[in-house]
Amino acid sequence: MKRPPIPTEAAFTSPLRDPRLTARIGTWLGIAFGLCFATGLVSHWYYLSDAPFFPPVRPIWGYRVTQGVHVLSGIAAIPLLLVKLWSVYPKLFGEVPVGRLRPLLVNLAEKASIAVLVAASIFQLATGLANQSQWYPWSFSFRSTHYAVAWIAIGALVVHIAVKLPIIREAYAAPLPEPEDNPLLAPVSGNASTRSDHGPSRRTLLRTALLASGVAVVAAAGNTVPFLRKVSVFAARTGEGPQGVPVNRSAQAAGVLASVVGPEFRLTLAHGDREVTLSRDQLASMTQRTHELPIACVEGWSASGSWTGVRFSELLDLVDAPADADLRIRSLQQRGAFGVTRIPASFARDPLTLLALRLNGEDLTIDHGSPCRLIAPNRPGVFQTKWVSRIEVVA
Ligand SMILES: Nc1nc2c(c(=O)[nH]1)N[C@H]1C(S)=C(S)[C@@H](COP(=O)(O)O)O[C@H]1N2
Ligand SMILES: [Mo]
Mean pLDDT of the chain: 92
The reply to whether ligand 1 has any atom less than 6 angstroms from the CB of 385 is: yes
Instruction: Evaluate if residue 187 carries a pLDDT over 70.
Output: no
Name the residue with higher pLDDT: 135 or 235. Answer: 135
pLDDT at 181: 56
Q: Phi and psi dihedrals of 388, rounded to 5?
A: -65, 130
Its pTM stands at 0.93
Instruction: Evaluate if residue 74 carries a pLDDT over 80.
Output: yes
Atom of ligand 1 nearest to the CA of 368: 20
pLDDT digits (tens, 9 = 90+) for 85-107: 999 999 999 999 999 999 999 99
Do residues 280 and 372 touch, judged by C-beta distance below 8 A? yes
The reply to whether ligand 1 has any atom less than 6 angstroms from the CB of 245 is: yes
Do residues 306 and 359 touch, judged by C-beta distance below 8 A? yes
Amino acid (one-letter) located at 211: L
Name the residue with higher pLDDT: 225 or 208. Answer: 208
Instruction: Evaluate if residue 191 carries a pLDDT over 60.
Output: no
Category of 171 on φ-ψ map: left (φ > 0), alpha (ψ -120 to 50) or beta: alpha
Distance 131 CA to ligand 2 centre (A): 10
> According to DSSP H, which parts of the chain are helical?
19-47, 62-88, 101-132, 142-173, 202-221, 251-254, 280-285, 312-317, 345-348
DSSP-derived 3-state class of residue 41: helix
Q: What is the mean pLDDT of residues 50-75?
A: 96
Identify the DSSP state of 65. H
Distances (CA, A) of 281 to 54, 226, 304: 34, 35, 26
Distance in angstroms (rounded) separating the CA atoms of residues 247 and 59: 24
Q: What is the mean pLDDT of residues 52-64?
A: 96
DSSP-derived 3-state class of residue 27: helix
Distance in angstroms (rounded) separating the CA atoms of residues 353 and 312: 6
Do residues 159 and 120 touch, judged by C-beta distance below 8 A? no
Name the pLDDT band for 190 (thresholds 50, 70, 90): very low
pLDDT at 180: 67
pLDDT at 194: 47
The reply to whether ligand 1 has any atom less than 6 angstroms from the CB of 386 is: yes
pLDDT at 232: 82
Name the residue with higher pLDDT: 358 or 235. Answer: 358
pLDDT digits (tens, 9 = 90+) for 118-133: 999 999 999 999 999 8
Q: What is the mean pLDDT of residues 15-28?
A: 96
pLDDT at 195: 45
Name the pLDDT band for 184 (thresholds 50, 70, 90): low
Instruction: Evaluate if residue 188 carries a pLDDT over 60.
Output: no
Instruction: Evaluate if residue 299 carries a pLDDT over 80.
Output: yes
Distance 136 CA to ligand 1 centre (A): 17
Least confident segment among 18-27, 81-90, 180-189: 180-189
Print burial letters for 52-71: b (CB count within 10 Å at least 16), e (below 16): eebbebeebbbbbbbbbbbb
Instruction: Evaluate if residue 229 carries a pLDDT over 90.
Output: no
Q: Which of 88, 122, 124, 87 is nearest to 208 (CA)?
A: 87
Category of 169 on φ-ψ map: left (φ > 0), alpha (ψ -120 to 50) or beta: alpha
Total residue length of the chain: 395
pLDDT at 260: 85
Instruction: Evaluate if residue 10 carries a pLDDT over 80.
Output: yes
pLDDT digits (tens, 9 = 90+) for 240-259: 789 989 998 999 999 998 88
Q: Which of 355, 348, 345, 350 is nearest to 325 (CA)?
A: 345
Distance in angstroms (rounded) separating the CA atoms of residues 179 and 319: 75
Atom of ligand 1 nearest to the CA of 303: 21
Instruction: Evaluate if residue 189 carries a pLDDT over 60.
Output: no
Q: Which of 116, 119, 110 is nearest to 91 (CA)?
A: 110
Among 304, 384, 389, 391, residue to substitute to test ligand 1 (most atoms within 8 Å of Cβ):
384
* DSSP annotation string for 152-210: HHHHHHHHHHHHHHHHHHHHHHS--PPPPP-TTTS-SSS-TTSGGGGSS-HHHHHHHHH
Instruction: Evaluate if residue 239 carries a pLDDT over 70.
Output: no
Distance in angstroms (rounded) separating the CA atoms of residues 112 and 306: 53
Edge to edge, the sheet with strand 340-343 lists 274-279, 266-271, 388-393, 327-331, 340-343
pLDDT at 49: 80
Ion ligand 2, residue ranges at CB < 5 A: 248, 297, 381-382
Q: Which ligand is nearest to the CA of 359?
A: 1
The reply to whether ligand 1 has any atom less than 6 angstroms from the CB of 339 is: yes
Distance in angstroms (rounded) separating the CA atoms of residues 313 and 105: 63
pLDDT at 298: 93
Q: What is the mean pLDDT of residues 222-239?
A: 80
Distance 384 CA to ligand 2 centre (A): 9
Among 142, 224, 250, 338, residue to substitute to test ligand 1 (most atoms within 8 Å of Cβ):
338
Name the pLDDT band for 304 (thresholds 50, 70, 90): very high
The reply to whether ligand 1 has any atom less than 6 angstroms from the CB of 213 is: no
Distance in angstroms (rounded) separating the CA atoms of residues 300 and 74: 11
Category of 99 on φ-ψ map: left (φ > 0), alpha (ψ -120 to 50) or beta: left
Q: What is the mean pLDDT of residues 334-345?
A: 89
Q: Which of 375, 386, 353, 248 is nearest to 305 (CA)?
A: 375
Distance in angstroms (rounded) separating the CA atoms of residues 118 and 85: 9
Write the residue with the smallest CA distance to atom 9 of ligand 1: 382
- Evaluated on CA atoms 51, 141, 224, 214, the torsion sign reads positive
Instruction: Evaluate if residue 336 carries a pLDDT over 80.
Output: no
Write the residue with the smallest CA distance to atom 12 of ligand 1: 382
pLDDT at 196: 47
